[in-house]
Amino acid sequence: MKILIIEDDEKTAGYVVNGLREAGYGVDRAVDGKEGLYLAAGGAYDLLVVDRMLPGMDGLAVVRALRRSGVHTPVLFLTALSGIDERVSGLDAGGDDYLAKPFSFAELEARVRALLRRPAAAVQQTMLRVADLELDLVKRTVTRGGKAISLQPREFRLLEYLMRHAGEVVTRTMLLEQVWDFHFDPQTNVVETHISRLRAKVDKPFQCTLIHTVRGAGYCLREA
């Protein structure tokens, strides 16, 4: 997997490049928008990590230009702008995800993996399956080992998200954003509470644990 990071700040770039290389990815770096556009346009990368604020051509403009020229490489925006509108304008420009600085590396890695995992063409699935856990998207039912599990709507959404990202680490922030549409940090343990409720229904009565906590990062649904 090859990743291109377009970031002018040395410290951030170093942090990200080193971290991603250690995680096993091939990483290239561009120092400004023009260089980034030139490299990315070659289409040789699987993921672009783009800083919003770049000298010369800014991140949004780079991505817009890429999209216009038919380059559909997934894009993760990084930004120090904490604006609420920034997320929307980033997605509008053609970005796929958005991470505010400062971020923990675990958060970055989780999102990178999620973006790389996405299939090029979204296959319409009716069923999600991990080990003996089955989730029927049409009937909105869940069974494990043949036994039906009754879930509240939010629990269903949570499980669906975990299953769609089976094998990947999903962070608390990702869950808050995608499952609850919370774009802020709540002051109570919303995620933990629901994960534990979900575990009680999906894991506890069964032998094999599927929902795992990844310390310092988030959660992961996979066979042990």
Give the residues lining the site for other proteins (CB under 8 A): 82-85, 88, 102, 152-154, 180-190, 193-194, 197
Cβ pair 155, 190 in contact under 8 A: no
Burial degree of 111 (CB within 10 A; 0-12, 13-18, 19+): buried
Closer of 44 and 200 to other proteins (Cβ): 200
Counting Cβ atoms within 10 Å, is residue 178 exposed (0-12), middle (13-18) or buried (19+)?
middle
Nearer CB in complex with other proteins: 82/124? 82
Closest separation in Å from C-beta 138 to other proteins: 21
Nearer to other proteins, 12 or 41 (CB): 12
CB of residue 103 to other proteins, shortest distance in Å: 10
CB of 47 to other proteins, least distance (A): 26
Residue 210: what residue type? L
The pair of structure tokens assigned to 173 is: 């922030």
Residue 102 CA neighbour count, 13 Å, CB half: 4
Minimum CB distance to other proteins, residue 180 (Å): 6
Closer residue to other proteins in complex, CB, 115/151: 151
Smaller CB separation from other proteins, 66 or 151: 151
Tokens of 122: 């979204």
Q: How far is the CB of 20 from other proteins (least distance, A)?
A: 20
Q: Could you give the CA distance from residue 43 to residue 21 in angstroms, rounded to a whole number?
A: 20
Cα distances (Å, whole numbers) of residue 137 to 48, 102, 117, 140, 163: 31, 36, 20, 5, 11
Give φ, ψ of 176 to 5 degrees.
-60, -40
- The alpha-carbon radius of gyration of the chain (Å, integer) is 19
Tell the smallest beta-carbon distance from residue 188 to other proteins (Å).
5
Q: Least separation, in Å, of the C-beta of 54 and other proteins?
A: 22
- Rounded to whole angstroms, the Cα distance separating 62 from 137 reads 37
Comparison of 35 and 203: residue with beta carbon closer to other proteins: 203
Q: State which residue, 88 or 208, has the beta carbon closest to other proteins.
A: 88
